[in-house]
């Protein structure tokens, strides 16, 4: 009888242990899911030297410590493309001031103006410049920065443009490879994370494949997606557009734009690379093609980036009012008060 009691007790104890392990496993899975569903968060708050302190001010506004700052190397001269001290030094100080910080840096492939080409870049004609950039980054403690080489190449607004149907797709891919090789050869101990980064001016995965440098040259696949649209029934809002009408326009804009996120996600999965969104933001444009104060866009972007299926590794909000549109949320005079409030709640 005592033996049976002990047996029953052992069985019950074993069951409790198994149940406890099960709960612990579920908890670990949930924790892993939550960790996975929170991409690294960055921000662009203006160029150096103001960018680093503005990034800290943004962290204070958001109530969250942002550890990924963003900047753009100027494309006017090779001297600026290769990493001038006036830009890299402030970011060096910012990155080194706190563990875990890093820089997301956009790197032009060519100077603006004539006389330079993607074909020449692909042939290695500019490798000495990339070696200089590599040295300057390492000397400033930025040997593990995220580098957006020739970002938004599918558009027509940068010197390194290689839009769909241009015949420059293979040259762009070759230029990308040449830059990566030159930088790695110059500083083999560095651990840069190279980002291959489109805008929303492509329409097929065939184009993506034709401009793809190869898996060994890319760490993250990115797309920049702002709340702007030229799709039918989206923006500009009609002159007599009430709240219901605005919601429909915003929905039409999102449905038009989300296909780019989906195409990049699918392409990234096929290449077995994480996805990223290096630039995004609410948008107010003088031509009316921005959604303005649009919490619907903020919510949808949050939901997409937080979905583990999409494997978004990092994103960076463009919290800055640029020449082509306003995007800044972190201002007492923001044009997007409802979007800003939701953003602070979600992030």
| Per-residue burial over 10-20, b = 16 or more CB atoms within 10 Å of its CB, e = otherwise | eeeeeeeeeee
Listed residue (103, 106, 109) closest to 138, CA to CA: 103
Query: What is the mean predicted confidence (pLDDT) over 229-238?
Result: 97
pLDDT per residue over 139-175, tens digit each?
999 999 999 999 999 999 999 999 999 999 999 999 9
Return the domain boundaries, the chain.
43-346
- Model confidence band, residue 9 (pLDDT cutoffs 50, 70, 90): very low
Mean pLDDT of the region 254-261: 97
Q: What is the pLDDT of residue 113?
A: 86
* Residue 275: band (very low, low, confident or very high) from pLDDT cuts 50, 70, 90: very high
Supply 148's token pair.
Answer: 């957006």
pLDDT in tens, 53-112: 999 999 999 999 999 999 999 999 999 999 999 999 999 999 999 999 999 999 999 999
pLDDT of residue 114: 83
Q: Which tens digit of pLDDT belongs to each residue from 21-32?
A: 443 444 443 343
Looking up tokens 């994480």 gives 274
Superfamily name and number for 43-346: Glycosidases (3.20.20.80)
Q: 121: alpha, beta or left, given left = phi > 0 and alpha = psi -120 to 50?
A: alpha
Q: pTM score, two decimals?
A: 0.88
What percent of the chain has pLDDT above 70?
A: 89
Averaged pLDDT score across all residues of the chain: 91
Query: pLDDT band at residue 338, thresholds of 50, 70 and 90?
Result: very high
Backbone φ and ψ of 222, nearest 5°: -125, 160
How high is the pLDDT of residue 122? 98
Instruction: List residues bridging with 318 in a β-sheet.
Output: 44
pLDDT tens digits, one per residue of 189-224: 999 999 999 999 999 999 999 999 999 999 999 999
Give the per-residue pLDDT at 258.
97
Q: What is the pLDDT of residues 90-103, one digit of tens each?
A: 999 999 999 999 99
């Amino acid at each position: 009888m005592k033996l049976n009691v002990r047996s029953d007790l052992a069985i019950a104890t074993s069951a409790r242990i198994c149940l406890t392990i099960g709960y612990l496993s579920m908890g670990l899975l949930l924790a892993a899911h939550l960790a996975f569903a929170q991409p690294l968060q960055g921000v662009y708050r203006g160029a150096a030297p103001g960018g680093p302190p503005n990034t800290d001010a943004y962290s204070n506004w958001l109530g969250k410590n942002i550890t990924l700052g963003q900047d753009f190397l100027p494309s006017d001269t090779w001297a600026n493309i290769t990493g001038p001290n006036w830009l890299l030094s402030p970011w060096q100080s910012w990155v080194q001031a706190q563990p875990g910080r890093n820089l997301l840096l956009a790197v032009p492939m060519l100077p603006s103006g004539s006389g330079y080409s993607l074909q020449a870049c692909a042939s290695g004609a500019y490798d000495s410049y990339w070696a200089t950039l590599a040295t300057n980054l390492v000397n400033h403690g930025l040997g593990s920065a995220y580098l957006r080489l020739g970002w938004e190449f599918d558009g027509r607004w940068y010197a390194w443009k290689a839009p769909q149907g241009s015949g420059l797709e293979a040259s762009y891919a070759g230029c990308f490879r040449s830059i990566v090789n030159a930088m790695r050869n110059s500083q083999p101990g560095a651990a840069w994370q190279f980002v291959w980064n489109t805008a929303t001016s492509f329409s097929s995965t065939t184009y993506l494949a034709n401009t793809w440098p190869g898996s060994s040259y890319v760490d993250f696949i990115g797309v920049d997606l702002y709340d702007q649209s030229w799709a039918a029934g989206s923006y500009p809002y009609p002159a007599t557009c009430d709240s219901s009408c605005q919601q429909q326009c915003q929905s039409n804009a999102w449905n038009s734009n989300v296909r780019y996120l989906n195409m990049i996600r699918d392409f990234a999965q096929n290449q077995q690379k994480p996805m990223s969104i290096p630039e995004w933001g609410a948008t107010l444009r003088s031509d009316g093609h921005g959604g303005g104060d649009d919490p619907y866009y903020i919510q949808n972007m949050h939901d997409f980036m937080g979905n583990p299926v999409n494997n978004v590794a990092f994103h960076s909000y463009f919290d800055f009012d640029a020449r082509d549109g306003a995007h800044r949320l972190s201002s007492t005079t923001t044009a997007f008060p409802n979007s800003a409030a939701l953003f602070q709640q979600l992030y």
